[in-house]
Amino acid sequence: MVDMAEVMKKFDIHEIANNELAEIEKTVDAELVARYKDKRGKKIFPVIYAARDNVCGACNMELPKSVLSRLKGGEVIECDQCGRLLYIAK
C-alpha cells in the first residue's frame, strides 16, 4: 500500500513551484495531482493538511468516523468545511 504520509510530504504545505509540481507528477497518483491543482486554482493555501486526532488540522472541523477510517486506510479526503485535502500523519 502507498504510504500517504510519505507521498504527502512531497507536496509542501506551502505553494509548490510549477517545476517542482512537474517532478511530483511523475511519482504521485495523477488523480491526486489533479485534485491538488484544482484546489490551488481556487486559491486554497495550504492545499494539503494533516488531520489531527479526529479534526481537520486546518479548520478544526470534527471529522466523521467514516472519514477517519478512510483516512486511516491511506485515502486522501477533502474537508467538507474548508475544502482542503486531508491525510493522516502516521
Binding positions for Zn ion, rule: CB under 5 A? 56, 58-59, 61, 79, 81-82
Q: Cα(71)–Cα(77) distance, rounded to whole angstroms? A: 7
Smallest gap, in angstroms, from Cβ of residue 26 to Zn ion? 29
Decide whether 7 or 79 has the Cβ nearer to Zn ion: 79
Decide whether 23 or 69 has the Cβ nearer to Zn ion: 69
Residue 71 CA from chain centroid, whole number? 10
Smallest gap, in angstroms, from Cβ of residue 48 to Zn ion? 11
Nearest to 13 by CA among 59, 44, 54: 44
The residue written with cell numbers 504510504 in the block is 3
Smallest gap, in angstroms, from Cβ of residue 86 to Zn ion? 7
